[in-house]
Amino acid sequence: MAAGTLIASSMFAAHAFDLQGHRGARGLLPENTLAGFDRTLDIGVTTLELDIAITADGVPVIHHDAHLNPALTRDAQGRWLQGRGPLIRSLTLAQLQTYDVGRLDPGSAYARDFPDQQGRDGERVPTLAALFERVKARGADQVRFAIETKIHPDRPDESPAVAPFVDAVLAAIRTAGMTQRVRLISFDWRTLRRVRELEPAIETTCITVENAQRTNARHRVMMLGMARDAYPSVAHMAKAAGCAAWSPNYQSLDAERVRAASALGLQVLPWTVNETADMEQLIAWGVDGIITDYPDRLRAALLRAGRSVPAVGAK
Ligand code: MG
């Protein structure tokens, strides 16, 4: 190999690692909030990962659950929700803004999962437009966005259908001028197909989960009609679906699967990796990025591995 090629490829590798903050930095600050995204930019990531729901009045907002989650939601009187809250789809943006999502209920199992998460009382479910504005205001012009469409074909009451869902998200992306800085990501690959049809410049990431309890790879609607058994691996399905990247649950990976998916030309971006030893293993296997609730830990692991890390976000 020519020396120039070596230098070029090693430079690419040095800059390519995609350090993704999951829901911002869920391990540190309330998930999917502007305060959390601010902290994530302070730490320094390549990509902000976030989830999208659509309000009753058609506004894309950043939230993981279709229903407001009682473990992290208080009403206008400051009381924790008792049981599952209303569907975001049933609330206008104005109604949704009356809820506080800035702290975990200390009595919840969820709070025990994230003992280091600090509260930020008063945080609201942000709009996607508001996050774009915040990032622009900080001058964080390099950071990218992995935007997850939360939709499920078996629960059609929980969100708009594929077309209106994707169209609302795409409108927000275009209005903000962010087409070149976003990827759409989803377990439900129908949304990814639609965005590529409407805006081929937007790359997509096919997410999969494979474990003893569940796999989306056998859901024919989510998989665009593809049958799992007709493909050697779920990575082959992601490739056939037209995705640039494949995002598997990290527990389903091994060195050979990373190698095989890379050989298909897919970026491999495992989720959600929170333990340093797992990060180090995946980096050694050659994944292209990692999605983590603790981007601070991942930065440290990358530096120890001699890899470059993204610039800290501008203020
Ligand atoms: Mg997500």
Instruction: Output the six-digit token pair for 126.
Output: 């942000």
Instruction: Decide if 32 contacts 62 (C-beta within 8 A).
Output: yes
Q: Is the pLDDT of residue 8 over 50?
A: no
Instruction: Decide if 166 contacts 149 (C-beta within 8 A).
Output: yes
CA of 264 to the centre of ligand 1 (A): 24
What is the percentage of the chain residues whose pLDDT exceeds 70?
A: 95
pTM: 0.94
Mean pLDDT for 194-222 is 96
Q: Is the pLDDT of residue 140 over 80?
A: yes
pLDDT of res. 278: 98
Give the right CATH number for 18-69+126-304 from 3.40.50.150, 1.10.540.10, 3.20.20.190, 3.40.630.150.
Answer: 3.20.20.190
pLDDT of res. 315: 60
pLDDT band at 4 (very low <50, low <70, confident <90, very high): very low
Instruction: Decide if 129 contacts 58 (C-beta within 8 A).
Output: no
Q: Is the pLDDT of residue 14 over 50?
A: no
| Rounded Cα–Cα distance for residues 70 and 105 (Å) | 8
CA of 23 to the centre of ligand 1 (A): 6
Nearest to 25 by CA among 100, 96, 120, 98: 120
Could you tell me the CA-to-CA distances from 142 to 14, 16, 48, 178 in Å, in that order?
A: 16, 13, 11, 11
pLDDT band at 314 (very low <50, low <70, confident <90, very high): low
Q: Is the pLDDT of residue 93 over 70?
A: yes
Q: Is the pLDDT of residue 6 over 70?
A: no
Mean pLDDT for 216-232 is 97
Q: Is the pLDDT of residue 15 over 80?
A: no
CA of 58 to the centre of ligand 1 (A): 20
| Rounded Cα–Cα distance for residues 38 and 253 (Å) | 31
Looking at beta carbons, which pairs linking 278-281 to residues 24 or more positions away fall under 8 Å? 278/250, 280/304, 280/305
CA of 187 to the centre of ligand 1 (A): 9
